[in-house]
Amino acid sequence: MDKQTKRIEIYDSTLRDGAQGRGVSLSVQDKLQVTELLDGLGADYVEGGYPLSNPKDAAYFTEVRKLKLNHTRIAAFGMTRRKDTQAADDACMQALLASEAPVITIVGKSWDLHIREVLGVTADENLAMIADSIALMVQSGREAIFDAEHFFDGWKANPAFALATLRAAVDGGATSVVLCDTNGGTLPTQVGLIVEEVARELPSVKLGVHCHNDSGLALACSLAAVEHGGVQVQGTINGIGERCGNADILAVAANLAVKYDQYELLRDGALSELTTVSRRFNELSNQSPRGNQPFVGGSAFAHKGGMHVHAVQRNPETYEHIDPARVGNVRRILVSELSGVSNIAAVLPEKFNISADKDAQRRILHALSELENEGYQYEAAEASLDLLVRRVLGGPWYHKAWDLDHYRCVIFKSHSAEANTEAIVKLAIGGRTHHTVAEGDGPVDSLYRALRRALRGDYPQVDDLHLVDYRVSVVNTSAETAAKVRVVIDWNDTTTAGVGSVGVSENIIEASWLALVDAVEYELLRDVGPN
């Protein structure tokens, strides 16, 4: 390591603090896979949970010992011993030791308000609880980290007492003390000044920071702490956690690695994997991706305004603060009614060959604007955008694969039976009529089954198309139950990456039909064009 650089430890609390977020539930297997993801990045610590809190966390510490980790040390989290109890006899202490985790993180009170109104103990007893708990872990051969809960609030109320809790942990043998902004209400300038003062008081102690995002400042506070002497940052993947979440450890890592030149963290090459880790975690935890998430979000390097697109194509630095590839992301050019012809030329595949055809670009932009005025959006509907372009260009690019006569969808529900759905599709291909009926699990499934049955003889590739996701949103809420709805469907087939299609109507069945028809036509026409 270069003498002028300083190692910043990354301590991930996704599996414990992050799992306390609303709607987050991780199985033991999920937690093991997240551990491997973080080890792949080179995270210094992964906090696996509180082994006394539930059987799942206890099971994790048994199973994680079977993993071959290359970088990461596993930490078990727990509270100090209870009042009026010897540390060795305390159930929490016993559970922490039984976890066999090489690192034990002990959380203790550092705000005198909590001593008086929550614990109901004297200041001296609180300090003894901290020191005794840390000492037992150290005597048992574990690395001990002290999380000073509510430290910044405690410092502002009574700095002498807050500092005394850190000294108690150090006296017990803690290798690191972590200053926690548990309520998430401290400003970055305050964090920086307090960390600096603590560093002067404890010059030989490793300082960390654990920030919550209740003021939207967890990332800024974490960076401020490092700038003023902190050497460990705690956080969670994608910033998940209780209430407003925690510091996003991916954004922390990206900022420290990209925006500064004096810090070393994670492992070499890890930065380019941040986007993959973010998205993989969303899949494991069943979380919806946040498009505007810094660095790793799907919209982090997306450009929509025509002026922006024109500029970024000339020089990406005009509207991008870093090369998206550095964090494993990509640039996206979007099209909408805000687009200019630059967007149209940039986003369409080269196969359409219209980069120099301004008239075609303007006609496509006009059609796009008209449809978006009706409620369409094409940012997640590549198949529908492809069909729109083909219909505008006409000629060799587009021909109708069939002529629809009609479709019907019938749902029958009695009080004693599950709903039954049947769809009827009548269409013509080359003058031949196909009249098909199919049952399915709901109207979309039954309509798609009937359409495929009608097309299969002429277009067998329709069987390669599979629905992956289905989303509905209201376009004009002022119309209440008569509002238009937008249906977006994600599809996969056996040969290409997934695509999306979109349909808009006051009738949700019609909107769904329009979206599925676009996907089918795209599947049939995607290779069609001039020879």
**What's the sign of the alpha-carbon dihedral 128, 130, 133, 138?**
negative
Measured from the Cβ of residue 204, the count of other Cβ atoms closer than 10 Å reads 5
- Would you mind telling me the total number of residues written for the chain in this entry? 531
Q: Give the pLDDT confidence of 43-69 residue by residue, as tens digits.
A: 999 999 999 878 888 999 999 999 999
Looking at residue 497, its pLDDT comes to: 64
Q: Give the pLDDT confidence of 218-252 residue by residue, as tens digits.
A: 999 999 999 999 999 999 999 999 999 999 999 99
Looking at residue 110, its pLDDT comes to: 96
* 103-120 mean pLDDT: 94
**Residue showing tokens 């002429």:** 458
Looking at residue 478, its pLDDT comes to: 72
Measured from the Cβ of residue 497, the count of other Cβ atoms closer than 10 Å reads 7
Distance CA 142, CA 106 (A): 12
Domain boundaries defined on the chain: 6-267
Which homologous superfamily is 6-267 in? Aldolase class I (3.20.20.70)
Residue closest to 282 by CA, chosen among 17, 9, 23: 23
Residue closest to 177 by CA, chosen among 187, 190, 189, 162: 162
Looking at residue 339, its pLDDT comes to: 56
Q: Give the pLDDT confidence of 441-496 residue by residue, as tens digits.
A: 889 999 999 999 999 999 998 998 888 888 898 887 777 777 889 999 988 876 66
What pTM did the predictor assign? 0.74
- Tell me the Cα Rg of the chain: 29
* 171-187 mean pLDDT: 97
Looking at residue 1, its pLDDT comes to: 46
